[in-house]
Structure 1
Amino acid sequence: MHILVDRIYDKTGLDPEKVKPAVGIILNFIAKNSTQAELEALLNAFPAAEGFLAIDETTENKGLLGGLASKMNASVGVLAALNEMTSLGLSVEEIHKVARETLDYTREKVGPEMTDEIVARVPGLAEIT
């Protein structure tokens, strides 16, 4: 298992089979709303991110908002991401835990300054962490 998934499991006890695709959903949402430089820094500092992004791309969009996310603005996109994660069986509280740990890990890997810029730029990301 990836160190981030293990870390989330150790801190929260959440099922790794739910955490792994949830991290993919979060990272994919960040990737869609970040600059190319931010995305490259994330991928360089966190090589496993590509694997998580691949998980998200193969995850079936479920629920009312899931399929509409790519056609709507980013602020609605966060609702679609939340919807996808609840479709995995995660509660809102559990989603907050996964998002918080993912961003904490990102801060360690790409630095707090760039992570804070990403959080500020991506609509709705601050609200789910």
Structure 2
Amino acid sequence: MHVLIDRITEKTGLDPTKVGPAIGIMLNFIAQNSSKEEVDALLVAFPAAEGFLAIDEARENTGLFGGLANKMNASVGVLAALNEMTSLGLSVEEIQEVAKETVQYTREKVGPEITNEIVSRVPGLAEIT
């Protein structure tokens, strides 16, 4: 993951001690809202990210109430992720820069099809990238 940290730091001038944790927060949120296949693809692209990913294996709730609960949890999750990144000292604009570069790197490493599927499914990701 250091390659991405270096890339974002060089492009944006952001502090790498903030960029690394921000990427971890973002990848964890993405993983919590992605399929197992997508998470596996992310781990290929970000091999050092495995330590950041605390994925609840029971995230596959189905049924009417399970689906509603997932949507509510995802909405709360995006706010929690943004809050975590702002608590690192990043502004909204800086979070967008990290998100855009992380998504671009993902496109390069796992391909546009999987990346676009992830972006379309993860709540709020399309709006900040």
Alignment TM-score, normalising by the size of structure 1: 0.82
CA distance in 2, matches of 1:52, 1:5: 14
The answer to whether the aligner puts 1:100 opposite 2:115 as a matched pair is no
1:49, CA displacement in angstroms? 2.1
Root mean square deviation, CA, Å? 1.7
Aligned to 2:127: 127
Q: Which amino acid aligns with 1:101?
A: E
Q: Which amino acid aligns with 1:25?
A: I
Unaligned runs of 5+ in 2: 55-71
1:5–1:19 contact (8 Å) kept in structure 2: yes
1:53, CA displacement in angstroms? 3.5
Q: Please show how residues 40-51 of structure 1 align to structure 2 within 5 Å.
A: 40-51=40-51
Q: Please show how residues 1-129 of structure 1 align to structure 2 within 5 Å.
A: 2-53=2-53, 73-129=73-129
1:52, CA displacement in angstroms? 4.3
Aligned length: 113
Following TM superposition, where does structure 1 have runs of at least 4 consecutive aligned residues deviating by more than 6 angstroms? none
Query: Who wins on radius of gyration, i.e. which is larger?
Result: 2
CA distance in 2, matches of 1:19, 1:81: 14
Q: Which amino acid aligns with 2:12?
A: T
Unaligned runs of 5+ in 1: 55-71
Deviations 1:44-72 (A, max 9, x none): 23312214437xxxxxxxxxxxxxxxxx5
Q: Which amino acid aligns with 2:75?
A: S
How has the CA–CA distance of structure 1 residues 22 and 77 changed in structure 2, closer, same or farther, with 3 Å as cutoff? same
CA distance in 1, matches of 2:126, 2:8: 19
Aligned to 2:61: none
